[in-house]
Amino acid sequence: MARFILLSVFIALTTLLAAVQQAVAPEERSRALHDPHDSLWSQPAPSIYRVRIETTKGIILLDVTRALAPRGADRFYHLVQVGFYDNSRFFRVISGRFAQFGIPGDPAIAKIWQNERFSDDSVRDSNVRGTFAFAMTGPNARTTQSYINTGDQSRLDAMGFAPFGKVVEGMSVIDKLYAGYGETSGGGMRAGHQGKLFEEGNAYLDRDFHLLDRLGRAEIIEERE
């Protein structure tokens, strides 16, 4: 019993320490959110961290392993830290393939980040069901848009799409995200057909594609070095 109590206390303290380490002061969070060149963005993410995402269909838990794609893991970590994904939409959901998100609901923020590209990572894991990665239009073109694979998309491996983690809870939630709009609500990244998403944000999607599921909040709940 004593060992169990000590283990429980250790786990609780570890979780609390992780929360303290990843916490960002409100003024720092706002500054980094509005400035892609803030010093926060150059700091490395923890070796492993877990992200909890609240959606209109339920809760999703993502485990990120930095060694799989360090640059992608770092960008995603800080985007979650500053609240970039909060109150956004799963704007491109293709049944049996993927669910895509990562354009902010606030068009002012979306415009700041629209062309903030970062360098590629080597592909060290395969785009199979349950993995996730950054979307891109070509080499060194990743920005903020991410997708979660809901089917076997391993053909993307050879194209340079580098997964940096896996869904550990909530695949059934992702499978239920509204997919009725197909490519019409957020496709055309390569062809430049996402203009209205960046210009009007949630106002556009909620008006013309009101059945899309919402990403209410994303937060880091665990970290390990």
CA distances from 57 to 19, 138, 203 (A): 25, 32, 21
Please give the model's pTM, rounded to 2 decimal places.
0.89
Domain parsing of the chain, residue ranges:
2-224
The string of pLDDT tens digits covering residues 50-65 is 999 999 999 999 999 9
Among left, alpha and beta (phi > 0; psi -120 to 50; other), residue 96 is left
- Read off φ and ψ for residue 163, nearest 5 degrees: -60, 145
pLDDT digits (tens, 9 = 90+) for 1-41: 555 444 443 444 444 444 444 567 889 999 999 999 999 99
Q: Give 93's strand partners.
A: 99
Contacts of 55 (CB under 8 A, 6+ apart): 90, 173, 177, 213, 214, 215, 216
User: What is the per-residue pLDDT across 170-200, written as a single tens digit (0 to 9) for each?
Assistant: 999 999 999 999 999 998 776 667 999 999 9
Yes or no: say if 171 and 148 are a contact pair by the CB < 8 Å rule: no
Fold (CATH) for 2-224: Cyclophilin (2.40.100)
Q: Return the bridge partners of 94, or none.
A: 98
